[in-house]
């Protein structure tokens, strides 16, 4: 019997890009334990949705460390989710044509959101706009 990953019904990759993708899911997952659960705790337990407005974001992002935190969260969460969907396309989309279309759509979507999210985190200035 092949060596099966606990993630599901596919053998653990033994080399190449798939091995790096598999390792990335574990490493980014461990980082996201801190980043994503920390983000939820800060926004929903320490603060609350009533507190979140433009002034809250401006005060928070006045500290570059929070911008770095949020940028890591953005990148790791998006890439982790992207790779998860990529594996699901592999599992569920059987027709070769549809696979290409799905993967092109997925790559484009992720690149767009990585770019848009980075733009927001890096260029936000409380006095500009509005």
Interface contacts to another protein, rule CB under 8 A: 3-9, 12, 26, 29-30, 32-33, 36-37, 40, 44-45, 48-50, 52-55, 57-58, 74, 77-78, 81, 84-85, 88, 109, 113, 116-117, 119-120, 123-124, 128-130
In angstroms, give the least distance from the CB of 44 to another protein: 6
In angstroms, give the least distance from the CB of 72 to another protein: 14
How far, in whole angstroms, is CA 37 from its chain's centroid?
13
Helix, strand or coil for residue 14? coil
Burial of 72 (0-12, 13-18, 19+ CB in 10 A): middle
In angstroms, give the least distance from the CB of 102 to another protein: 14
Q: Which is nearer to another protein, 89 or 99 (CB)?
A: 89
For 4, list phi and psi in degrees, rounded to 5: -100, 135
In angstroms, give the least distance from the CB of 45 to another protein: 6
For residues 61 and 124, is the Cβ–Cβ distance under 8 A?
Answer: yes
Helix/strand/coil (H, E, C) string of 20-55?
Answer: HHHHHHHHHHHHHHHHHHHHHHHHHHHCCHHHCCHH
Q: Which is nearer to another protein, 11 or 104 (CB)?
A: 11
Q: Which is nearer to another protein, 5 or 21 (CB)?
A: 5
């Amino acid at each position: 019997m092949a060596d099966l990953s606990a993630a599901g019904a596919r053998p653990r990759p033994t080399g190449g890009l798939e091995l790096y993708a598999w390792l990335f899911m574990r490493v980014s997952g461990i980082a996201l334990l801190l980043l994503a659960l920390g983000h939820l705790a800060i926004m929903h337990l320490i603060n609350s949705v009533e507190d979140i407005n433009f002034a809250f974001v401006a005060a928070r992002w006045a500290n570059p460390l929070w911008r770095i935190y949020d940028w890591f969260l953005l990148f790791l969460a998006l890439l982790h989710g992207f790779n998860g969907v990529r594996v699901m396309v592999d599992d569920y989309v059987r027709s070769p044509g549809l696979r290409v279309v799905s993967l092109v759509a997925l790559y484009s979507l992720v690149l767009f959101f990585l770019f848009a999210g980075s733009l927001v985190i890096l260029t936000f200035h409380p006095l500009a706009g509005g």
